[in-house]
Every structure is written in C-alpha cells, then in structure tokens.
Amino acid sequence: MLEVKNAKMMYGDLVAVDHLSFTIKPGDIFGLLGTNGAGKTTTFRMIMGLLDPTEGEVLYNGQRVGYHNVNEIGYMIEERSLLTKITVKELMLYFGQLKDMNPAVILERLDYWLDRFRIPEYKNKKIKELSKGNQQKIQFISAIINSPKLLVLDEPFSGLDPINTELFVEVIRDFQKQGAMVVFSSHQLDHVESFCEEVVVLEKGKAVIEGRLADVKRAFKKHNIFITGDADPDQLRQIEGVLDVRENANGLKVKIADEFVSKAVFDYIKTCENITKYDVEKASLSEIFIAKVGHSHEEV
C-alpha cells in the first residue's frame, strides 16, 4: 500500500504541494492529474523519497521508500533523458543491474518487451537513432524491466500517438491485473478518464477533485438525457426526479436529479413507438474541473 499523508512541499516560499492525502492499494490505477505546475512531479519525488515533505509523510508498505525498495519500484521520470550514445541493450543492462537484476533475466525480459512494443529491431540500435515515441517506449521498458510492484509514471503518454497510447494502457492494465499499484500523472484530463478509476486533480498544489471517478461524477450531479423521437415532454415531466424538459431542433433534453432516474425515463421511452436516440450524458472530468476552479484546463 502507498500512503500519502497530509504531504506538504515548499520550495522557499512557494507551496508546491499543499496537504495532499491519498492511498493506493494493490491493483489500483491511480491518476494524479492537473495543470502544468500543479505539483504532480513534486508529489512523485516525495513518493520516491527524492524529496522530504516539509510536512506530512509518504509511506510504502508502512515505510519510507529507500534504496532497499529499488527492485520493487519502477519510476518513469518526466524528462526524456535517456543515455543517448549507448544501445538499447546496453541501457537496459545498466538500469536492470542498478535494480539488482541478473543480466540473463534482463535480456530475456527485454526481448519480451521489445516484441510487445513492436520494436524488436531496435535492440542493438543507439538510443539517439530512435524516434521520440520509440525512446519513450524504451524509457517505459526501463521502468518495468524489474516487474515492479509499485509503478510510478510521470506523464507516460505525453507525445504518444493513439495506437502507442493504447499499447501503454494495455501494459499498465496487465500490471494492475498482477496486483501492482500504478500511479501516473497527466495534464490531459479527458485522455485518461477512460482507464483510471481513482483520481486526484491538483490545482496549485491542492486537490480540487479526489476519489473514485464514478463517485466524483455522481456527486457532480450533472445528468442530461437526450431523446429524439416521439416522446411526450409532458409525460416525461411527470416522472419523479425529472427536473426539466426542453425541446430543441434535435429533440428533447431531459435534466434528471441523478443517474437512477434514467431507468424510469428509459421505462417510459420503451412504451414509445419511434425513438431514434436515447443518450444519457454525464459530465466529463474537464467539465467538473472547470466548474470547480472556474477556468478551463487548457487555458493554463
């Protein structure tokens, strides 16, 4: 288990992380999201024991992370600073041995991951000869080569195309299935909400959104149903929990009190003759962020 307990980090007068708390359990994929400069990398550095919190503490299985944990942890830093003059194989042997791994095991796993990431031909190529996306794959492989129980990924998806993003997501899910704890950061809220269940969204070091994504969305209480067809607005208005029904050129927009009302609306819709669209809308994480902090994520 990873516990961030009331952690605060100050650089001089600047509060980079402000009393942040969250817990990650085996099998959790945890998203640490937020704008540029929100405090994500600082939080990771506290998790990795590279920075001492000014207040509070960070515990991995009840203890501070130290060198004795290196073979259980994988960390992908945000900077893409690989040693560019050596080959992929040499780099992996270097990082793997720093994690106390046997060279034969490192090479066996490297072959597996290069195949999985569809770049087996790069094993003996120098890092500088690889494209940016492929260097990112190598950096990711160097974080997972030791099959970590805690995987800390700082902006793993930035700059990846959709196909490679999906490859990374599949691997992260496999680690989840094996019971690893995964924590990653991103400033692209929409992009990650499809696969992480627990989130903290930071804004200027403070958690402005936190908890299970499903609960966050439920609590936000923005629920609309869009209906096109022969539904009767007056009948819909009589359903308990229907707050408002508006008609426009595309059909009806039905505002409901919570997601449970959608079942009653659906039961009515089933009695209609000709419905061509029934779509329950929930707020996206970006919309919730804008509502909470009063500006768009992309503007920052």
Report the interface residues with ligand ATP, using CB under 6 A.
Answer: 11, 14, 16, 34, 36-42, 78, 187
CA angle 101, 105, 111 (to 5 degrees): 125
**Nearest-approach distance from CB 283 to ligand ATP, in angstroms:** 23
**Nearest-approach distance from CB 114 to ligand ATP, in angstroms:** 28
State which residue, 41 or 164, has the beta carbon closest to ligand ATP.
41
Distance set, CA 162 to CA 166, 173, 194, 260 (Å): 6, 16, 13, 34
**Nearest-approach distance from CB 249 to ligand ATP, in angstroms:** 41
State which residue, 41 or 176, has the beta carbon closest to ligand ATP.
41
State which residue, 37 or 56, has the beta carbon closest to ligand ATP.
37
**Nearest-approach distance from CB 38 to ligand ATP, in angstroms:** 4
User: What is the token pair recorded at 79?
Assistant: 């900077």
**Nearest-approach distance from CB 63 to ligand ATP, in angstroms:** 24
Distance set, CA 126 to CA 30, 82, 123 (Å): 33, 11, 8
Max Cα–Cα distance, the chain, nearest Å: 72
State which residue, 199 or 256, has the beta carbon closest to ligand ATP.
199
**Nearest-approach distance from CB 115 to ligand ATP, in angstroms:** 31
Of the candidates 77, 43, 31, the residue with the CA atom closest to the CA atom of residue 192: 31
State which residue, 135 or 186, has the beta carbon closest to ligand ATP.
186
State which residue, 155 or 262, has the beta carbon closest to ligand ATP.
155
**Exposure string for 229-248, b = 16+ CB within 10 A, e = fewer:** eebeeeebeeeebbeebeee
User: How far out from the chain centre does Cα 53 lie?
Assistant: 23
Alpha-helical segments (H) within 54-203? 88-98, 103-116, 132-144, 162-177, 189-192
